[in-house]
Chain A
């Protein structure tokens, strides 16, 4: 989540297109606001909703939900109060300035941590169970102009478990494929054989 949000939305824009990106119009945002308000209403009215949908049997659950609802509202109000207090108690004022980056006056998107770099330590840790493909272009010359690092982590479970199982299934299916001749008479004959077999089994069991 942090990787996705950080890589896409935070910091300096990484491409010309993202630098020119603008927020959508109000009419398109209304649905999101509506869902937000609906979520809040559902949290506040959760006990009533539980009681209405579950009847008297859900009384115990409604009691717990009421407690959680009150607590959720208190938490939200508390966090807003914290933000207000932060502004009230800060006497020094505010200032906007370029990011501090150890001597660089104005860091740009090329100096930022990329999403790949952000997750690399964790990906390294899980390397034995990941199917990784790395592509490194190392910096050359004294004043290097370009260098890059690409990493692709495929789904190891899909590669090593599900695909292998699918291969076994496919092999077995290939072996019995001859049964699917497409001939209706053949299928009726097979059904007859199975029924006959079941009859013999039932007789032997008796």
Chain B
């Protein structure tokens, strides 16, 4: 592997690591703008994390070691997932065939630990949040793998770097655009679900009965809560990067500009999410599976279209 590639790999990891909390600030600023407010600083999450690092950690008397290791492990697993993400034309040095499964299962393991830790506290609210988290993630998993199946079929490469680098928008061939657009739509719904954003969950709410992710982390404090906040921001960054790299036009892909656009595009996703959250309220829990079912239909339709376009499953 060339030194340039390793250099870009380290740069990508460092940039993602540093910019992830900024995304949350961009979303909140967009929402404040649409609500006619000034809003908090876009760097607010950095301030919160630094403040929390100095605060005391509190552990429940009902808990044992799971609650103590969950935040750091969640953050560690999310960072490990980040190491597989390519940047523009530069593949991750860790990439291998089928690493896309490992990428999403790192994130899945992180969620598994968060859910276990929530149940370990014995709190009814955290149990409720954990139950909802598992319900929606179980339904989203099928959609996610339908999306990945379509993308792998489209490019003939089951690796994460291959899926993201070979599935660029080919503006010269508009006929092939339809499956990619459908898949991108389905993936955006998964992004909102997996990151507990509206209409699935309202991250701003402080009413335990309506929360999902926030309800699971009620018993964390200090550095543990900082790790939970950071991991959530990084997870959003990973999903947004995935989506952006799918939608980068083919022409700009093979240049350094493509790498810059990949990072800039993540913030465009943050602004879009802010606009979406400003325009709609959280849906009823009973209606949310319908939204995920809709996303699955989009992904299935994309697979059928792709098969039709390439004349079979080969």
Indicate, yes or no, whether A interacts with B. yes
Contact surface of A with B, Cβ cutoff 8 Å? 1-2, 5-6, 10-12, 64, 67-68, 71, 75, 78-79, 81-83, 85-86, 89-102, 107, 109, 111-113, 117-122, 125
Report the nearest B residue to A94, measured CB to CB. B57
Could you tell me if B130 and A98 are in contact, using CB atoms closer than 8 angstroms? no
Q: Give every chain A residue within 8 A of B138 (Cβ-Cβ).
A: 122
Closest 4 pairs between A and B when the two form their complex, measured CB to CB: A113-B127, A11-B122, A6-B119, A82-B76
- 9 extra interface residue pairs, beta carbon distance < 8 Å, beyond A81-B76, A94-B56, A100-B218: A2-B130, A11-B121, A12-B62, A12-B122, A82-B73, A83-B69, A85-B72, A91-B54, A111-B124
Q: Among B69, B72, B208, which residue has the most Cβ atoms of chain A within 10 A? A: B72
Report the nearest A residue to B111, measured CB to CB. A2
Could you tell me if B69 and A121 are in contact, using CB atoms closer than 8 angstroms? no
Q: Give every chain B residue within 8 A of A91 (Cβ-Cβ).
A: 53-54
Q: Give every chain A residue within 8 A of B125 (Cβ-Cβ).
A: 101-102
Could you tell me if B131 and A118 are in contact, using CB atoms closer than 8 angstroms? yes
Number of residues from B at the complex interface, CB < 8 A: 51
Q: Give every chain B residue within 8 A of A10 (Cβ-Cβ).
A: 66, 116, 119-120, 122
Q: Which of A12, A67, A98, A125 contacts B135 (CB 8 A)?
A: A125
| B271-314, CB < 8 A from A | 285, 289
B58 within 8 A of A: yes
Q: Among A82, A98, A107, A117, which residue has the most Cβ atoms of chain B within 10 A? A: A82
Q: How far is the CA of A10 from the CA of B62 in the complex (A)?
A: 8
Mark each residue of chain B from 120 to 143: 1 if its CB lies under 8 Å from any CB of chain A, else 0. 111111011011101100110000
Q: Among A64, A109, A119, A125, which residue has the most Cβ atoms of chain B within 10 A? A: A125
